[in-house]
Structure 1
Amino acid sequence: MEKVIINDQIVNRIDAKVDMNDRGYHFGDGIYEVIRVFNGVLFAAEEHLERLFKSAKKVNIDIPYSKDKIINLVNTLVELNDVETGIVYFQITRGSAIRTHEFPTSKTEPVFTAFTANVEVPEKELEKGVEVITTEDVRWLRCEIKSLNLLPNVLAKQEAAEKNCYEAIFHRDEIVTEASSSNVFIVKNGVVITHPVTSQILNGITRQVVLNLCEENSIRFTKKKYSVLDLMTADEVFITSTTADVMPVIKIDNTVIGTGAPGSVTRNLQSLFREKANKDTKLVV
């Protein structure tokens, strides 16, 4: 029977319960992370936990468990659910209290929950590339916090799905920020370009891995703002996320990008990313 985590206990999913007054339900008052699992091993777990604790600090949630405690719980959950290729989702809300917008005045314990899912690597899309749309970025201005408030992202992703597209790329005042559930990169004249780390984007873990790979392998890159026009006229475009890896984008709003096929820089980064994932999770190449 599938297991989940409720606070510091691993229980059967059918027995898991969360209070109706949990502030995560009322206000989206919480934070979350998603960690990739390759061959039963967590990938970049420490980086995800570091970001979780940073998000918690910014919204004044005091996580009642250490990073090591959470990692141990999550590793046990992956093993019990026999996850080979998939994800672990976990979130922490401010806790359960009578509904008021301000923080509860009485002592409220944060609520930690987690579950696993089998999610395969999207090999077909990684090989052929995907089509995406652009849409106005109407989210709040604290996107660096990985909070539960994702309704604008959901609506953008749904718009993309209704147009048979993989993702929706956000722009604010004609400046590309990120996408509904991924970071965005363009390649121009061999240089990888992505939005700098500001409050307008989430500093994705896969994003960080890719930039480190660029640095380690002498691939030129820069972090700077770029426009929708730059996006549409780029030589290559790709997006990154925990579940998308390094995903080539071959068409945006019906405009073909580059040659209409994944470019050489993107292909190189895909290969380097897979090598790192293989090494870090002890996969057999």
Structure 2
Amino acid sequence: MQNQKMITILGPTASGKTSVAAALALRTGGEIISADSRQVYRRMDIGTGKDLADYTIGDVHIPYHLIDIADPGTKYNLFQYQQDFHTAYNDIRSRGKLPILCGGTGLYIEAVLGGYSLSPVPQNQKLRESLEGKSLDQLTQMLVHLKQKNGSKMHNRTDVDTAQRAIRAIEIETYNLEHPTPERQMPPVDSLVIGINIDRELRREKITRRLKARLEEGMCDEIRSLIDGGVNPDDLIYYGLEYKFVTEYVVGKTSYEEMFRQLEIAIHQFAKRQMTWFRGMERRGYTIHWIDAAQSMDEKVESIMSLMNE
């Protein structure tokens, strides 16, 4: 176990991966590095599903990193994440602790494990203006074409689920086409990769139950407070499905029932796309050891410990 450099725990939304990571951290004295593109934002707790209570087991607080590190309204990106990941990873390793990478943002996970060569990409206002008014389908087609030109594995459908995100992805691919980056600016990270495999019907049940709970916990009020605090409602749509649909309800564009129905469908589709990404990682050469979400927590932790000791 002492030779393990890092454990990665991935899985679709509602698979219970955070509680597994926390239980493993408790057992090993490890620390968790979040691999979630939205949980980096402060004051965006319910809508991003931080579930911070999962990091406390009994009276033990599990240390976590890369949560609540960016202001709402700002655009945190993959390049920044890669830098911040290595800072946290090196800090944890320097203290003799086990880093446990945990999340569902496949692009962030793969960028870290594979050592993607990235650079900060400035906004291209002229390009943005030329793309304004295009549908998500049109933008997706443009992105596919650019990716083929670049030989790029970035920006799969999981992470490009709104027109704004698609425009940003096109901006990045266009920049990379015009400004080739040096080979491998970041080293790949050796990791044992664990996947939490949840039955599709159980996943659907958990997604619906969790969505109801988050709305009851005050997700609408959270979004109202962000808007009252100066975040533009149009900008909130950038931050993923919950913010897109609940913001539309909060500003009066849709009814509560319609918001719930559309958001529930969208989250189910998102979970399917996450699994598509993880299966794609396997095709790209990553070994993912899948364990059953229906097992007891003790069984899941024991399964991971056995793999660590092989």
**Structures share a fold, TM > 0.5?**
no
Higher RCO, Cα 8 Å, sep 6+? 2
Decide which structure has greater strand share. 1
Q: Tell me the TM-score normalised to structure 2 length.
A: 0.26
Decide which structure has greater helix share. 2
